[in-house]
Amino acid sequence: MRKDSYFSRRLASFGYAFSGIAAFLRSEPHARIHLVATIVVTAAGCWYKLSRMEWILLIITIAVVWVSEMLNTVIEKIMDHLSPDYHPRVKWIKDVAAGAVLIAAIAAAGIGALIFIPHIL
């Protein structure tokens, strides 16, 4: 098999993606908070034997929070690189990106409450 075959390039791209996830977890405190929350919620889902639909909603919700946090981090890093000094437009961009994460987290908390409260009560 050639080194630059389609399969080897696809395999390498997965390696890059996992490397990015690992870098995110190592460098970002919020990533570690999301990891702990994901583990706790997943364990609770197993404990309460969630339905298939509850798992689907939970997985989508977890993914949305992770993706929004990762994109927020990328936006912050890009803006810090492009504009190391304070700039009001950069602040606006970073604030809006952080707001997106907050909305995802609030929605996740609401969905988690709707899923878990009936099981707890």
116's CB contacts (< 8 A; 6+ apart) are 44, 48
Is-contact 58 115, C-beta < 8 A? yes
Q: Which amino acid is at 73?
A: T
Point out the residues that are catalytic: 69
Q: Which amino acid is at 10?
A: R
Q: What token pair was written down for 12? A: 């390498």
Radius of gyration over every alpha carbon of the chain, rounded to an integer in angstroms: 18
